Amino acid sequence: MSEKKNPCVCTNCDFRDVVFSHLDEKTINDLCNNKEEQFFHKGEIINHEGEKINTFKYLKSGLVKLFRRTSTGEEQVITITRPFEFVSNMSIFSEERYQYSVSALEDSVVCMVNLDFIKELFMKNGGFAMGLLTKISMINDKIISQTLDIRQKNLIGRVAYVMLYFTKEIYKSRVFDLPVSRKEIADYIGMSTANVIRTMSDFKREGIIRIYGKTIEVVDLEKLEVISKRG
């Protein structure tokens, strides 16, 4: 079950430099009075597709996935994202309800701000509005770019792409604990789970990666990059 964290730390929050840098101290204090932090355990749903949108949410720490369900109940993973991104907020100005679900892939902390307060800031402060729109636009562009990049690749190129994404962008390390299942990878890249398992086994056999349970070590980064590029 998610846990609320009450202390307001907006003044020293790293996120302030991302979007809230245009706000004065009084507005920052008002923001704190309209905000709460909530802790989500790995696997918990942060918001469900179809729920009414009442808050502006941003990921302060952890890792989440954005997904939706098909008419047959299958899960479509749209993106996996790290802190200081707004995957929950892509519809806050256009829809009354969430178009996608978001769940925690790791223990995560989410800051939630009253949506009416954000909309009021949006109308009053042009610098804030421009910063927020720019950030949301960048995230939308990133998701579209990732989707197109993945679709242009064959099976092994897609799996290589995901391994590189975790290595270079998510963990910035060649050794990491894979936060998703093989099925989730398959849902993300549009391939079958069996094909993902077989491809990762091929990478292991060829010495490109090592696998220790959930831990992945990228041994030959250059070869993985070549496979992703040519795939």
Tell how strand 64-69 and strand 75-81 pair up.
antiparallel
pLDDT higher at 6 or 199: 199
Q: What is the mean pLDDT of residues 114-136?
A: 85
Distance of CA 22 to the CA centre of its chain: 25
- pLDDT(100) > 60: yes
Residue 84 is predicted with a pLDDT of: 66
Bridge partners of residue 216, in order along the sequence: 176, 211
pLDDT digits (tens, 9 = 90+) for 43-78: 999 999 999 988 888 888 899 999 988 888 788 898
High-pLDDT (> 90) share of the chain, %: 42
- pLDDT(90) > 80: no
- pLDDT(163) > 80: yes
Measured distance CA(230)–CA(209) in Å, rounded: 18
Q: What is the mean pLDDT of residues 113-130?
A: 86
Weakest mean pLDDT among 97-106, 120-129, 155-164? 120-129
- HSE-CB of 208 using CA atoms within 13 angstroms: 22
Q: What is the residue extent of each domain of the chain?
A: 3-150, 153-230
Tell how strand 35-40 and strand 108-114 pair up.
antiparallel
- Same CATH fold assignment for domains 3-150 and 153-230: no
CATH of 153-230, one of 3.20.20.70, 1.20.140.10, 1.10.10.10, 3.30.70.2190: 1.10.10.10
pLDDT band at 210 (very low <50, low <70, confident <90, very high): very high
Residue 50 is classified by DSSP as T
CATH topology of domain 3-150: Jelly Rolls (2.60.120)
Phi-psi region of 41 (alpha: psi -120 to 50; beta: other; left: phi over 0): beta
CB 161 within 8 A of CB 155: no
Mean of all residue pLDDT scores within the chain: 86
pTM: predicted TM-score of the whole model, two decimal places: 0.81
- pLDDT(218) > 90: yes
Return the SS3 of 221: helix
Residue 194 is predicted with a pLDDT of: 96
CB 187 within 8 A of CB 68: no
